[in-house]
Each structure stands twice: as structure tokens, then as C-alpha cells.
């Protein structure tokens, strides 16, 4: 049975008291409108579905705060769900804008090694033997020694100690942006000195050793 808009307040009341059957009916009544609203706002079915699920969960967690103001109790239920859905959709859209802006800002700041990795064969395909690995490691350490202190420190902390950019920034007491800039310059210099392939192999070997 779909109660439509009438009877929503009664269902909500029972749902708030813990009645799962009332929740099922309420869910059936409010989700079609919410799905439509979210789809209109984000214009993507999959995202709208994700946001719908998030709306229901957020409403459930905040259900103790639901109060009816005014005489239109059924409409208040719909308005409450719609407000949560709209806020989530707006947060999502804002995050999307921020993400696009950040990508545009850091377009030239990406890890060149990571970008190259996608186009290169895997570590198994390189079939690196022990002598080659040691030779590469020696060359990498030698190239690292050539780097300015500030850049070398960051590469060592990032790739050898396995710290994130944020953790490095915290440890060195500098801004994360500055860490990224220095890392970017260091990897560029290392790739120039060694060739990107040697650097990737070295880092893969490090990662394997870390995993082992």
C-alpha cells in the first residue's frame, strides 16, 4: 500500500517510535519524489541514487530532531526529507566544483612518475634481476644525493619512509602545497637523470620490499 502524501505524518510518528513496517511504507511513499528531486539537481542517475541512500541514512540518524511545525504535518515530513536531500545534493555539487578547481590548479603539479606508470609495463614484465636492481638502486641513490636538501628529504620521506604528503608537511612544519611543489620538482629531476623507467622500477622494488 502506498499512502501517498496523506498519512505520512502518522507513518513518520510510528517510524520514529521504531516501527519498521511504518518505515517501509514511508520509504515507499517518499523515495519516488526524492529520487526525482535529486535527479533534477545532479542530473545523473547513479549519483542521484547514491544521494538518495545517503538522504535516508542521514534522515534516520537525525530522526530525533524531526518536529512538525504548522498544521500541515504530512507536508512537513516531505519537506524534511526534501531539505536533507537538497542539502546533500548541494554539498555534492560544491565538492564537484572544488574538485574540478583543485585538479585545474594542480594539473602541472601531478606526480610525473605516477602518470608515466600507466603507460609502462608492469614490474613482472621488466623481469628485473638482482644485479640490475642493485645497479638501479645505486643510480637512484646517486641521483638523490644530487638533489637539493629540501627536495631529497621529501623524496626520502615520501617514497622510502612511505609518509603521505600531509604527514610530511606536518613533520617538516611546512604547508602541504609546498611539499607537493618540492616533490614534483624532485621527481622531475630524478626522471631526467635516470629515465622514468629506472625510477619506477626502483620504487616498485621498494614497495615490494615494504609489502614483504
**Measuring CA to CA, which residue among 149, 155, 81 is closest to residue 89?**
81
**Residue 39 interacting with another protein (CB under 8 A):** no
Closer Cβ to another protein, 15 or 202, answer by number = 15
Residue 14 or residue 188: which is nearer to another protein going by CB? 14
Within residues 64-123, the interface with another protein by CB under 8 A covers 64
Smallest CA-to-CA distance from 197 within 112, 138, 131 is with 112
Minimum CB distance to another protein, residue 64 (Å): 8
Written as nine digits, the cell of 131 is 644485479
Closer of 22 and 76 to another protein (Cβ): 22
Determine whether 133 is exposed, middle or buried from the number of CB atoms within 10 Å of its CB (0-12, 13-18, 19+). middle
Binding of residue 50 to another protein (CB under 8 A): yes
CA dist., res. 58 & res. 68, Å (int)? 18
How far, in Å, CA of 151 to CA of 180, rounded?
10
**Would you say 38 or 113 has its CB closer to another protein?**
38
- Give burial (CB, 10 Å; 0-12/13-18/19+) of 166: exposed
Which parts of 53-72 interact with another protein (CB under 8 A)? 53-57, 60, 64
Q: How many residues interact with another protein (rule CB under 8 A)? A: 24
Q: Give yes or no for residue 27 binding another protein (CB under 8 A).
A: yes
Asked if 19 touches another protein (CB under 8 A), the answer is: yes
DSSP class of 70: S
- Of the ranges 49-57, 143-151, 155-163, 189-197, which one interacts with another protein (CB under 8 A)? 49-57
Asked if residues 169 and 178 have their Cβ atoms less than 8 Å apart, the reply is: yes
Give the nearer residue to another protein in terms of CB position, either 17 or 149: 17
Contact set with another protein (CB under 8 A): 13-24, 27, 46, 49-50, 52-57, 60, 64
Amino acid at each position: 500500500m502506498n499512502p501517498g502524501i496523506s498519512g505520512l505524518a502518522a507513518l513518520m510518528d510510528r517510524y520514529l517510535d521504531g516501527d519498521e513496517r511504518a518505515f517501509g511504507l514511508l520509504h515507499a511513499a517518499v523515495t519516488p519524489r526524492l529520487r526525482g528531486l535529486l535527479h533534477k539537481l545532479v542530473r545523473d542517475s547513479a549519483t542521484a541514487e547514491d544521494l538518495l541512500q545517503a538522504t535516508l541514512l542521514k534522515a534516520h540518524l537525525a530522526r530525533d530532531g524531526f518536529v512538525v511545525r504548522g498544521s500541515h504535518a504530512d507536508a512537513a515530513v516531505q519537506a524534511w526529507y526534501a531539505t536533507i536531500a537538497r542539502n546533500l545534493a548541494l554539498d555534492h555539487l560544491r565538492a564537484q566544483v572544488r574538485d574540478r578547481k583543485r585538479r585545474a590548479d594542480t594539473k602541472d603539479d601531478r606526480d610525473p612518475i605516477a602518470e608515466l606508470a600507466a603507460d609502462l609495463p608492469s614490474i613482472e614484465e621488466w623481469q628485473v634481476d638482482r644485479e640490475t636492481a642493485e645497479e638501479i638502486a645505486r643510480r637512484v641513490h646517486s641521483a638523490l644525493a644530487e638533489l637539493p636538501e629540501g627536495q631529497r628529504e621529501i623524496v626520502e620521506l615520501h617514497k622510502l619512509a612511505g609518509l603521505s604528503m600531509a604527514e610530511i608537511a606536518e613533520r617538516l612544519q611546512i604547508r602541504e602545497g609546498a611539499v607537493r611543489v618540492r616533490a614534483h620538482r624532485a621527481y622531475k629531476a630524478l626522471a631526467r637523470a635516470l629515465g622514468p623507467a629506472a625510477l619506477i622500477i626502483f620504487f616498485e622494488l621498494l614497495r615490494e620490499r615494504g609489502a614483504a
